[in-house]
Structure 1
Amino acid sequence: MLNLILFGPPGAGKGTQSEKIIAKYNLIHLSTGDLLRSEIQAGTELGLKAKTLMDQGILVPDEVVIGMIDNKLKEHRSAAGFIFDGFPRTVKQAEALDNLLASYNESISVMVALSVNDDELLARLLNRGKTSGRPDDQNEELIAKRIQEYNSKTKPVADYYQEQGKFVAINGIGEIDSIFGEISGAIEAA
């Protein structure tokens, strides 16, 4: 089973590349944001717990998110693999994910990180903001804060998987198809 973490700051091209990865390798896309919305909409116990917390402006605890991921793993036992998007964001979450996967005799195959410099990220997000309607893609100060948050909180996760020999950095600037070719090479080498 192929279990991939697609990593990178906002605007690095994760959404674009994840569609291509999913199509080529027939993976199940696990986006924590989508999972939360889906569980809330379905009215599950975890979804109701998450909604209560979110309505209070409180971040959903790791154990709730891990529980939602566990539900998806159970639901798709015969899948070719999973692509994790937006998770893990902290080393504690990475450890919890590794423990969960180990309970299924699985592990993360590779973490692919798209590297894009801050100036390029800012330009991409401002450009996306013109068409996406997302207010967080239209405010330079907010974009800078999101990039800084990513750099400070999620870099240790990359280090965590680097120590396991599962981390591959790929230049996220260039032609979409050539970047995808490099990602495919990293996946197949894993």
Structure 2
Amino acid sequence: MKRFCFDNSGFSNPYQNMPEYIPHYQPIWNEVRQTILSGIIGTTKEIYDEMCLIEGDLGNCIKNNQDAILLEVGDVGWNFDRYLAEFNRMRTVHEEYISEYSHSNSRRTICLNDLTVIALAKTLNVPVVSEESSAAKSDRHRRIPDICDAENVDHLYFNDFLVAIRSH
């Protein structure tokens, strides 16, 4: 059973700031890899493809454990019909903030790929883990934490995720 949905930034940003080749950070990444292997982390195809660009042992773990991470539309093991309905509803409700529709692919606002992971988290009733910051009350932009807030989906940063896996 999934307990967390990850945006790529939930792994890639901490990985850049705390590289696994530095001995001090190795225990963190060992724990993250074990958590991936446990099957409690999920994501969409769009985000999984981004995650596959992560290098090193973490990237290899992600690539070698696609079945443990990826929830694909059409797989019978989860309610993908509900996910598609959530995604399509969110796409309509938040259309004015989606970069592909109204902002010439601006990185300052939510994109469709990011919306997929929020819809997945809402479907599974689990938090989204990302390192994105809020758009801070912008009238024109929304980012992952803002859409999570609007959709009543919990948003965690990587450090919050570490605390959550250690306390369970």
Instruction: Give the TM bin, normalised by the shorter chain.
Output: 0.3 to 0.5
> Which fold has the larger relative contact order, with Cα–Cα distance below 8 Å and residues 6 or more apart in sequence?
1
Query: Which has more radius of gyration?
Result: 1
Structure 2 length as normaliser, TM-score?
0.37
Structure 1 length as normaliser, TM-score?
0.34
